[in-house]
Structure 1
């Protein structure tokens, strides 16, 4: 490329640029241009010098100019995309080779020639520019070495990558458009997050019409896998429709019911076309209309009838009602709902649209017990393929036909629900352990013979035979067991009753809305109480009254003078300082202790080793919850009030939480919708409904029976 081309571009972008800088840029491009693989490389080489040439230019402006220079150098055309040099004229290589046979010693051969450096650059300016470039590179290296902020435990999804083995036969079928199967085969795939490998060499087969539960420890990559599938980074047949419920519906003027109906794009399109054509027919001359319009209208009516479009509003209303939307709420604008209700609306839209593959990530987090039971019943008849990540063991037991277990960067497939999976896996691990021990015993027996007769000449042939046999045996691998989850609440001071009670308590935020009236409840150091009720019934308000954060308008809250309450909010995890490490966070909240003390406290909740020294933002949701538990226990409370403590926790951690709360010496009141946790620890149920708090003697079984009766009544 001629220097005049570079000069023309540079003077156009930098009217006041020095001639020496132009010559320097030309020299860099002529001498080292082949070493630049991307425009970023060129920017690193000359960017600092160009920014100095015109301080009014931003870094982004200079990057754009470097892009143009890069493509100009390789293509001779700024607008081209392919970085290849274009020769000015055809070259006959054979003729050139023959011409050079008698000029072996001449360095002008195209095979060995080096271009002379014709640029003349001011050495002082060159040194100054190179120093700036070096300083910039060092600064970038420091930035790259620092830990990057991540979100949602695993981080920014843009850092995640996937690769897979593509089946050529399936690829040809997909390309030809003849593949009509809705089964999904993702073979031999890897998923990584930055430098961390999450899944390697895994294969999953999703048969159409089956319901899969994806389980595994926190931070293993379950959510990332769902996102890889929904974004088509893991390739599946193009004709299969996918819907991933992960973001709440954007709030606008749309009515909730219409928001759900609008998911069926084909139905909406036909209805809009029908309205338009009807208007055109009415406006046509003499009212006779157009034959083509009439024919198209007939086709539309036939298609709408075939898809039962008239039944769609009723089906959408049933779904919304099941998820807790009253008739009045179904007529509200979406912008009037809170984030939790918008997530329910997103779930309703997904259930209504019925994609070939529905991906759900922790769908029960946003639901109360009534909505969870309704969703269980609804999904049991789900017609297409379902892949759900959930920590709710009872929910998975109810809906799953198969379980995909993500562990040790592998995925194992089990037939049956979670209960069957748990039993099958335990039996499999026991058999693997027995096989390992038998193999080890056999190896040890052979090794004893070898060691005993190694130097016995009469047994030399037998020893050699045993050595060969030992070499041929398969590699002995111990059974991989996931580490046990640790949650250990500290010992606390025992108190004599009365501990915590509400006597004839009434509460209201304003005169028009009464939340509670005449509430009489009490708790002791032995209490294990679960508060249940529909969303919006006042469960969190009741907790705040028990905590003393809200004062009753009538009645009395009595608490023991030495009562120390540990409160875990459902938003507790979001209130942690994400830029700090767990140890730094503990030191900031509770100063005066040494680092070892904070590490021991965190270790009691499984945040040990390097986890305690990582930024909180880099931890998974479950690991953040453990940090929140450790922070809660720093004051050594003797009574726990927990609001949705199982959110973000995996099943093993929920199990450990249940055992730890059972052993805790103080009292416990919690709000939870996790059926297994409630059954594990709670001896008493408080039902919040219609401004009252009722103690249910029949426990959870009685409460579930009441809900199921209500759902049956609604259906009738």
Structure 2
């Protein structure tokens, strides 16, 4: 049964986000919506929800359809509201007293701890805030779910919990998910929409298989385009020869034939379209300074403690060697970020000796934190570059433009940039630092799939040495060649990440 019918939908904001989009949402559809940052995913969801009017086309919803739309950010008016009250307020006023049990059921289904339920949303992590928005939709018993980047700020355990929750929904309940998490899309969807400015592509497949099918379609389009261009060139060559013969012989018939061939060539050229080329949100390139040292960092039973001094784990004897790409695994609160902070301090401030950590003198650090705290909101991208590196204004502008920051964005306060733009600025700073060792704490948090794959390619191509923390399973599987797990207050080495993923049910 069709619940939503999208016909010839189009939205243009400065440039076309999408056009002539036709999509039918049927009962039981689990649709993944894929596009680069700023390319229309949130806009399309808002059009489907009826919160925004498209520039062209229409969205038809079945009579009486209720849509639950979970946005990326918590509305400011809810931030002072306790978790359970925020969920209760999603119910109509006349139903709140008699149906408050729905709130309890929603919070239980999302495994919200009792200790968090009465705390204001502003005191909770971004992950719990997102689950609060989801709970608000759950209690209203909607017919369709629209989720905009639902895994943002969630750790692996919560991502897997969300996967299980979505997969346990009634089979006929459709949902549309905008996400950059490839493993999450594979685990939850059965259809994929690749949103494009001109001709969006739709496949009845989860993300990875749909991506392979998309590559085949694009390759076929490219071959067809090359054939059409070649055929048009041949027609023009034949027309030129006939034109010479016609002129020399004075034959009006040959001149008429020449005109016909030229018209055929023009018609073929007008209809020929190259394969879709994704307009890049900005290139990601890294550098690798190189080092002769084989052992970069030696750990000798270093103690990693919580801010209150409580011991989290000891490292035992471990070595970070040149070419190692170490993925640090562990549950939330195990001490991953604390170890990253200790290593960063040991590298940047060698005079502050840290027991159990020895760093080679030739180490040049490239650090990327999950909250991009090294970027000052009040500063501008331009000032950030020229103040930290010996590059002139012209070179700085070119570098920033290459990273996807237009001239207008370059003089804008960093606090006004999108998460994706900040992430690409952070990656540019990494490149200019020319490190030979990377510490990466959730580097893909704000990157779209194009950016994630570019970062993966750069780390592999440069044979970079790094230690990273991530909640992105695809990224960890692709980049890592060593895996450390914080387990029972010890740091142990695994052959691969799958045992850890399985231990939290995150095999997606």
Please state which band the TM-score falls in when normalised by the shorter chain.
0.7 to 0.9
Quote the residue 1:664 is aligned against. 462
- Say whether 1:493 aligns with 2:282: no
- Say whether 1:482 aligns with 2:278: yes
Q: 1:199-253 CA deviation, whole Å, 9 max, x = no partner?
A: 3443333223311111112221222333444452236547332322323384557
Quote the residue 1:215 is aligned against. 34
Aligned mates of 1:613, 1:532 — CA distance in 2: 36
The total of aligned residue pairs comes to 485
Quote the residue 1:412 is aligned against. 201
Helix, strand or coil: the match of 2:505? helix
Aligned ranges for residues 545-560 of structure 1 at < 5 Å? 545-548=342-345, 555-560=355-360
Q: 1:326-353 CA deviation, whole Å, 9 max, x = no partner?
A: 4554576656533443233333443454
CA shift for structure 1 position 585: 2.6
CA shift for structure 1 position 537: 2.7
- C-alpha contact (below 8 Å) 2:441/2:470 kept by paired residues: yes
Quote the residue 2:22 is aligned against. 203
- C-alpha contact (below 8 Å) 1:566/1:632 kept by paired residues: yes
Question: When the two structures are superposed, what TM-score results if normalisation uses the length of structure 1?
Answer: 0.60
Aligned ranges for residues 630-709 of structure 1 at < 5 Å? 630-697=428-495, 699-708=496-505
- Say whether 1:185 aligns with 2:10: no
Quote the residue 2:326 is aligned against. 529
The structure-2 alpha-carbon separation of the partners of 1:424 and 1:554, relative to structure 1 and needing over 3 Å to count, comes to: closer
Aligned ranges for residues 334-349 of structure 1 at < 5 Å? 334=121, 336-349=123-136
Quote the residue 2:56 is aligned against. none
- Please point out which of 287, 292, 301 is paired with 1:504: 301
Quote the residue 1:21 is aligned against. none
Aligned mates of 1:440, 1:667 — CA distance in 2: 45
CA shift for structure 1 position 453: 1.6
Aligned mates of 1:655, 1:588 — CA distance in 2: 30
For structure 2, the 5+ residue unaligned runs are 54-58
Helix, strand or coil: the match of 2:288? coil
Larger strand percent = 2
Aligned mates of 1:228, 1:199 — CA distance in 2: 12
The structure-2 alpha-carbon separation of the partners of 1:478 and 1:589, relative to structure 1 and needing over 3 Å to count, comes to: same
- Say whether 1:463 aligns with 2:254: no
CA shift for structure 1 position 668: 0.5
Q: 1:154-199 CA deviation, whole Å, 9 max, x = no partner?
A: xxxxxxxxxxxxxxxxxxxxxxxxxxx8611233333243x44433
Q: 1:268-317 CA deviation, whole Å, 9 max, x = no partner?
A: 855725xxxxxxxxxxxxxxxxxxxxxxxxxxxxxx7xxxx978745631
Helix, strand or coil: the match of 1:364? coil
Aligned mates of 1:408, 1:332 — CA distance in 2: 43
Helix, strand or coil: the match of 2:180? coil
Quote the residue 2:161 is aligned against. 374
Aligned mates of 1:613, 1:264 — CA distance in 2: 40
The structure-2 alpha-carbon separation of the partners of 1:340 and 1:519, relative to structure 1 and needing over 3 Å to count, comes to: farther
Quote the residue 2:148 is aligned against. 361
Quote the residue 2:74 is aligned against. 248
- C-alpha contact (below 8 Å) 1:573/1:624 kept by paired residues: no
Quote the residue 2:427 is aligned against. 629
The structure-2 alpha-carbon separation of the partners of 1:586 and 1:183, relative to structure 1 and needing over 3 Å to count, comes to: same
Aligned mates of 1:311, 1:253 — CA distance in 2: 18
- C-alpha contact (below 8 Å) 1:687/1:693 kept by paired residues: yes
- C-alpha contact (below 8 Å) 1:217/1:407 kept by paired residues: no
The structure-2 alpha-carbon separation of the partners of 1:506 and 1:467, relative to structure 1 and needing over 3 Å to count, comes to: closer
Cα RMSD, aligned residues only: 3.6
Aligned mates of 2:225, 2:449 — CA distance in 1: 28
Aligned mates of 2:490, 2:94 — CA distance in 1: 48
- C-alpha contact (below 8 Å) 1:577/1:585 kept by paired residues: no
Q: 1:616-661 CA deviation, whole Å, 9 max, x = no partner?
A: 6575532321211111333322110011111121112211111111
Aligned mates of 2:239, 2:506 — CA distance in 1: 72
Aligned mates of 2:102, 2:51 — CA distance in 1: 33
Q: 1:361-405 CA deviation, whole Å, 9 max, x = no partner?
A: 222221112222232232224332212111111111121121121
- C-alpha contact (below 8 Å) 2:328/2:485 kept by paired residues: yes
Aligned mates of 2:153, 2:140 — CA distance in 1: 20
Aligned ranges for residues 288-307 of structure 1 at < 5 Å? none
- C-alpha contact (below 8 Å) 1:368/1:535 kept by paired residues: yes
- C-alpha contact (below 8 Å) 1:245/1:347 kept by paired residues: no
Q: 1:14-38 CA deviation, whole Å, 9 max, x = no partner?
A: xxxxxxxxxxxxxxxxxxxxxxxxx
- C-alpha contact (below 8 Å) 2:34/2:194 kept by paired residues: yes
Aligned mates of 1:670, 1:453 — CA distance in 2: 66
- C-alpha contact (below 8 Å) 2:72/2:149 kept by paired residues: no
The structure-2 alpha-carbon separation of the partners of 1:510 and 1:553, relative to structure 1 and needing over 3 Å to count, comes to: farther
- Say whether 1:441 aligns with 2:230: yes
Higher normalized contact order (CA 8 Å, seq sep 6+, divided by chain length): 2
Aligned mates of 1:357, 1:571 — CA distance in 2: 33
Larger helix percent = 1
- C-alpha contact (below 8 Å) 2:285/2:431 kept by paired residues: no
CA shift for structure 1 position 489: 1.5
Larger radius of gyration: 1
Aligned mates of 1:527, 1:639 — CA distance in 2: 9
Aligned mates of 1:183, 1:611 — CA distance in 2: 42
The structure-2 alpha-carbon separation of the partners of 1:196 and 1:480, relative to structure 1 and needing over 3 Å to count, comes to: closer
- Say whether 1:239 aligns with 2:36: no
- Say whether 1:316 aligns with 2:316: no
The structure-2 alpha-carbon separation of the partners of 1:710 and 1:316, relative to structure 1 and needing over 3 Å to count, comes to: farther
The structure-2 alpha-carbon separation of the partners of 1:508 and 1:362, relative to structure 1 and needing over 3 Å to count, comes to: same
